């Protein structure tokens, strides 16, 4: 089989197991999603979802958040880790959204990536899940799985993103991003993984534990 045919079969397997792909981070609009994704860096979605109710009760829009102190934000988000940096980023980006974007999260790659604490991956999630723009956010989990499934050489996340975009149809990117995350959590963990029992690794994956 060609790599393209393998990719299509993997997409079919993912669709079989995860036909529905709810966004795992609780949010109500682009701003709350942006903040939640920022908090998810080096933190689990589950923990973020436990922290954001209190944070969004304090402030759930850029105007309200910009009126809070960095210390008050930090006190709430401390369980997510990296709280000094994340709280400052949330405070700063809220001011920028108010001052430069009329209080609205910009639907623009360059403007999003220019916000404090927002890199390409975070911008990709917001563009895909808040605005429906085709994107293929690649975090460390997708990077690992793409290598394990021989869809990418695994050099870096940028290379993995380009490889996945070449292999899969553009209209599938947003859903595949979530399907791969869900599949990895259930069937293809980083450690303690049995490749022979995995619906994808048993067919196409590398048969050694390398993580």
Q: Which residues are catalytic?
A: 121, 139
* Residue among 120, 136, 124, 126 at smallest CA distance from 172: 136
Picking from 156, 117, 91, 92, the residue whose alpha carbon sits closest to that of residue 38 is 117
HEC secondary structure over 150-166: CCCCCCCHHHHHHHHHH
Backbone angles phi, psi at 113, to 5 degrees: -70, -15
Distance CA 117, CA 211 (A): 27
Instruction: With beta carbons less than 8 A apart as the criterion, state whether 38 and 27 touch.
Output: no
Distance CA 28, CA 40 (A): 16
Contact (Cβ atoms closer than 8 angstroms) between residue 63 and residue 98: yes
Which residue, among 206, 176, 181, has the nearest Cα to 194 in the 3D structure?
A: 206
């Amino acid at each position: 089989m060609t790599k393209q045919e393998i990719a299509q079969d993997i997409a079919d397997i993912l669709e079989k197991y995860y036909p529905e792909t709810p966004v795992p981070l609780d949010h109500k609009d682009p701003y709350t999603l942006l903040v939640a994704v920022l908090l998810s860096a080096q933190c689990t979605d589950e923990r973020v979802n436990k922290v954001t109710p209190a944070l969004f009760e304090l402030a759930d829009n850029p105007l309200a958040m910009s009126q809070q102190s960095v210390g008050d934000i930090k006190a709430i988000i401390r369980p997510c880790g990296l709280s000094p940096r994340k709280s400052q980023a949330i405070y700063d980006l809220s001011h920028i959204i108010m001052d430069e974007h009329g209080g609205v999260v910009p639907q623009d790659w360059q403007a999003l990536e220019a916000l404090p604490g927002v890199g390409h991956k975070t911008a990709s999630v917001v563009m895909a899940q808040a605005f429906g723009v085709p994107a293929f956010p690649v975090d460390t989990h997708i990077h690992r799985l793409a290598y394990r499934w021989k869809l990418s050489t695994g050099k870096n996340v940028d290379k993995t993103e380009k490889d996945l975009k070449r292999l899969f149809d553009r209209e599938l990117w947003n859903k595949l991003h979530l399907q791969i995350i869900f599949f990895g959590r259930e069937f293809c963990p980083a450690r303690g993984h049995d490749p022979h029992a995995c619906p994808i690794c048993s067919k196409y994956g590398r048969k050694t534990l390398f993580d």
